[in-house]
């Protein structure tokens, strides 16, 4: 059955929230499901490369206070996604080494994304929506705002699947594209981040107030 209130669905299920939480529940933690994937893709000379995040950490929760009338505010969601640079796997040891050096892993060991806000674009299906998700992406110690067209799909009663891609330039984050093989191979400045992440609401935390 189609969702009756798209805005509330995106604010609710997109954030991993049950639409009808238990009485007194104020916070729902967000849990990342094992099926989630994040990949960095690009071109190096005559070949394409794809580096997959082997570890993805999520720190987030939904605050349900102030939702009378279905309203929502910027404080409803706290969501941060982090990826250890050391756990980006390009499939070749030499390529992993070049990527870690380019990202200055010893000084900046993590890539981080922090959600800021979203805007509803429109329905994509009976239980899915297109949204523009805006956040702050930190790579190589440089933070830049980023807005990504994202497909949000409901999965079960308490879950949401988010998928999309973002085109980025390494140099926007102070990253010098690697030149392996003594400079014979040039890694292109442009890269694409593809994500397919599955969130689910953890058990509700009951307020003591």
The average pLDDT across 106-125 equals 90
Whose tokens are 């206070």? That residue is: 65
Which of 131, 103, 95, 101 has its CA nearest to residue 116? 131
Q: Which two tokens stand for residue 30?
A: 């967000």
The whole-number average pLDDT for the span 34-51 is 91
Distance (Å, whole) CA 192 – CA 121: 22
pLDDT in tens, 55-97: 999 887 765 454 433 334 434 667 899 999 999 999 999 889 9
Q: Is 110 exposed, middle or buried (0-12, 13-18, 19+ CB in 10 A)?
A: middle
Q: Are 84 and 39 in contact (CB under 8 A)?
A: no
Residue-averaged pLDDT of the chain: 79
Q: What is the pLDDT of residue 186?
A: 79
Query: Percent of the chain scored above 70 by pLDDT?
Result: 73
Is the pLDDT at 13 greater than 60? The verdict is no
3-state secondary structure of 53: strand
Neighbours of 101 (CB within 10 A): 12
Q: Looking at domain 6-16+27-206, does it have CATH number 2.10.69.10? A: no
Question: Out of 25-29, 115-119, 154-158, which region has the weakest mean confidence (pLDDT)?
Answer: 25-29
Lowest mean pLDDT among 16-30, 74-88, 150-164: 16-30
Least trusted range by pLDDT, from 47-51, 63-67, 124-128, 153-157: 63-67
Q: How many CB atoms are located within 10 Å of the residue 186 CB?
A: 14
pLDDT (average), residues 4-18:
49
Contact 157, 190 (CB under 8 A): no
Domain ranges of the chain: 6-16+27-206
| Phi, then psi, of 93 in degrees rounded to 5 | -60, -40
Predicted confidence band at 27 (pLDDT cuts at 50, 70, 90)? Answer: low
Q: Report the pLDDT averaged over residues 39-63.
A: 87
- pLDDT bracket for residue 30 (50, 70, 90): confident
Closest CA to 44 of 87, 91, 85: 91
Radius of gyration, alpha carbons of the chain: 19
End-to-end CA distance of the chain: 36
Q: Which residues pair with 145 in a beta bridge?
A: 136
């Amino acid at each position: 059955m189609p969702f009756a209130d798209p805005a509330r669905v995106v604010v609710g299920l997109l954030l991993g929230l049950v639409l009808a939480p238990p009485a007194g529940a104020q916070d729902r933690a967000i849990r990342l499901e094992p099926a989630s994937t994040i990949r960095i893709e690009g071109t190096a000379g005559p070949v394409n490369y794809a580096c997959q995040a082997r570890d993805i950490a999520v720190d987030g929760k939904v605050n349900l206070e102030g939702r009378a009338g279905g309203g929502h505010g910027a404080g409803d969601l706290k969501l941060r996604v982090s990826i250890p640079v050391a756990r980006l796997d390009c499939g070749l040891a030499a390529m992993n080494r070049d990527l870690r050096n380019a990202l200055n892993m010893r000084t900046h060991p993590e890539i981080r994304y922090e959600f800021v806000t979203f805007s509803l674009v429109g329905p994509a299906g009976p239980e899915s929506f297109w949204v523009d998700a805006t956040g702050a992406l930190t790579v190589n110690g440089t933070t830049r705002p980023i807005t990504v067209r994202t497909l949000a799909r409901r999965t079960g009663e308490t879950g949401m699947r988010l998928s999309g891609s973002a085109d980025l330039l390494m140099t926007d984050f102070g990253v010098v594209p690697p030149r392996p093989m003594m400079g014979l191979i040039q890694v292109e400045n442009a890269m694409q981040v593809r994500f397919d992440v599955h969130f689910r609401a953890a058990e509700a935390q009951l307020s003591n107030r």
